[in-house]
């Protein structure tokens, strides 16, 4: 017998990675790090936030 679909939809964490990348590049334009390093730092921070969101969502 087929499973019925879950009534709950998972949270989207990719949005945090995308915003982190854009914000990091934007901040990097005005910092001594440069836009490439800012972009990479933004991706890393967005990835950490996305992972945290996934862990919290998984418990529910």
pLDDT digits (tens, 9 = 90+) for 4-38: 666 777 778 889 999 999 999 999 999 888 999 99
What confidence score (pLDDT) does residue 50 get?
94
Distance in Å from the first CA to the final CA of the chain: 25
What confidence score (pLDDT) does residue 44 get?
96
- Residue by residue, DSSP assigns 1-60 as -PPPPPSSPPPP-HHHHHHHHHHHHHHHHTSTT-HHHHHHHHHHHHHHHHHHHHHHHHH-
What confidence score (pLDDT) does residue 1 get?
57
What confidence score (pLDDT) does residue 40 get?
95
What confidence score (pLDDT) does residue 39 get?
94
Please give the average per-residue pLDDT across 34-43, as a whole number. Answer: 94
Q: Among 19, 22, 50, which residue's Cα sits nearest to residue 38?
A: 22
pTM above 0.85, yes or no: no
């Amino acid at each position: 017998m087929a499973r019925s679909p879950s009534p709950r939809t998972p949270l989207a964490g990719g949005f945090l990675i995308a915003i982190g990348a854009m914000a990091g590049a934007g901040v990097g334009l005005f910092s001594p790090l440069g836009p490439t390093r800012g972009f990479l730092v933004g991706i890393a921070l967005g990835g950490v936030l996305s992972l945290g969101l996934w862990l919290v969502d998984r418990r529910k």
